[in-house]
Amino acid sequence: MDRQFQHPMLPKTTQDELARQEFVQSLKLHIFRNLSPGNKVVYEKLAKPKFEQEHQRPPQNRYEIREVMQGEPYYRWSSVLKRVSQEMLWDAVNASVDRQLPELIERAKDKGNELGTLTLDPNFSIPTYQEAVDIHCMPGGYHSEFTANDVAAGATYDRGTYVYGIGWLGPLNDDMGLSIVQNYLLKEYPKFQPRKILDLGCSVGHSTLPYVDGYPDAEVHAIDISAPMLRYAHARAESLGKRVYFSQQNAEQTNFPDESFDLVVSHILLHEIPPPAVRKVMQESYRLLAPGGMMLHVEAPLYRHMDAYTQFVFDWETANNNEPFWSAVRDLDLVALATEAGFTPDKTFEKFVPNGAWKAQNGNSNSQGSWFVVAATK
């Protein structure tokens, strides 16, 4: 497995901290490869026959599958282990972040605005739906601040994402943005040269920076609700030599003028917000786009792309991993929401884009799968 790129803002690990984090990675991989597949066997051989005997028909949706699977000891045990591994992940990463937080804060402050800018709103109100739960079980969620000039949430997210994904997003955790730029936009729209780009819900800017490289003449903006994330994102971008204009804003309603961007994107933002907020993000995307501009929202596949059992597997995130909107958004018709927002049906579409662009940069062209995209042009 490749190592995470050691940029100046990334928390450094001691030998013991690294060992703990690598143990969590190994445990998660063991659960994914060796334990979770056993749930399908339990379903087919035990749970499904029990349901059929009781109801005289097979389970018809993810809710009925969960109902019968929750009584199976193997599923309960593997679910507990999966949840515990998630909590272990954050414990392992937080030990490293907490130890060097004062240094990380000073390092972020020292970066200044040599290339891009950072604009925070001291009166910003965090949406209630974000305050109500620690998303992904990350302590404090993405937005919490515990000290002046806090960057802990950003540092934890940066390192935690790599540990969680076992490096599958690449050394810079940037495969979503990189694959959209390299495997889709530059290939299928070579003449499309946006002058202004906006990344909604950017977190620490993992997927933002590939747009800086893909469109070097463009002015790239990125917004998020979290000040600690944005402080870290700005310092990270500056340390990597990328010019981005970060600001603390809610993607449901920004302060940018109408028709001020040629490309509006997001990367796994939609499943972190409730359906009414998704509708507002679509409307805001339409408002912000200039004529001829393009909107791209990157997500995991929707439930209608899956069979009932696979939906049940995905639904675990909502039921057990502090992802309250994961399943609700998977049930939405995102194309319909885009057309409701103003995009015409003939210019609104879904797309599966091959992922793994970071591998191609390293001489390996094998894709691991694809990113689901809902897109539209204005």
- State the pLDDT at residue 365: 62
Q: What's the pTM value of the predicted model, to 2 decimals?
A: 0.96
Give me 87's structure tokens: 């909590």
- Other C-beta atoms closer than 10 Å to the C-beta of 113 total 12
Please, are residues 375 and 357 in contact by the beta-carbon 8 Å criterion? Answer: no
Q: What is the pLDDT of residues 326-341, one digit of tens each?
A: 999 999 999 999 999 9
Considering only CA atoms, which of 61, 80, 86, 137 is closest in space to residue 312? 61
The answer to whether position 213 is within a domain reads: yes
How large is the average pLDDT for residues 19-41?
Answer: 96
Consecutive H or E run containing 348: strand 348-354
Q: Which residues is 253 bridged to in the sheet?
A: 250
Q: What are phi and psi of 138, to 5 degrees?
A: -70, 120
Which is nearest to 173 in space by CA: 194, 202, 216? Answer: 202
Structure tokens at 189: 């729209």
Residue 299: phi and psi, rounded to 5, are -145, 175
Domain contains 16: no
Question: Two tokens at 19?
Answer: 């060992």
C-alpha torsion angle, residues 331, 333, 334, 336 (rounded to 10): -160
Q: Tell me, what DSSP letter sits at residue 268?
A: S
Residue 343 lies in a domain: yes
Mean pLDDT of the chain: 95
Name the residue among 312, 319, 281, 310 with its Cα closest to residue 297.
281
Asked if 321 and 134 touch (Cβ cutoff 8 Å), the reply is no
229 in Cβ contact with 142 (< 8 Å): yes
Give per-residue pLDDT as tens, 63-93.
999 999 999 999 999 999 999 999 999 999 9
Tens digit of each residue's pLDDT (9 = 90 or more) over 248-306: 999 999 999 999 999 999 999 999 999 999 999 999 999 999 999 999 999 989 999 99
| Mean pLDDT, residues 167-175 taken together | 94
Of the CA atoms within 13 Å of residue 172, those in its CB half-sphere come to 24
Per-residue DSSP letter, 149? T
| Domain that includes residue 352, residue range | 158-377
* Residues 6 or more apart in contact with residue 63 via CB below 8 angstroms: none
Q: How many domains does the chain have?
A: 1
Of 216, 163, 147, the closest CA to residue 10 belongs to 163
Of 293, 288, 291, the residue nearest 262 (C-alpha): 293
For residue 326, give the H/E element and its range: helix 326-330
Percent of the chain's residues with pLDDT above 70:
98
Within 206-282, strands assigned E span 219-224, 245-248, 261-267
Task: Give φ, ψ of 66 to 5 degrees.
Answer: -65, -40
Does the residue 345 lie in any domain?
Answer: yes
- Is residue 231 one of the residues assigned to a domain? yes
Q: Find the CATH number of the domain harbouring 233.
A: 3.40.50.150
Whether 106 is covered by a domain: the verdict is: no
pLDDT, residue 192, reads 97
Q: How many CB atoms lie within 10 A of CB 112?
A: 12
Inside any domain, residue 119 = no
| pLDDT band (50, 70, 90) for residue 369 | confident
Residue 1, pLDDT above cutoff 70:
no
CA dihedral sign of residues 179, 182, 188, 194: positive
Span 349-376, average pLDDT: 86
pLDDT at 346: 97
Residue 60 counted as domain residue: no
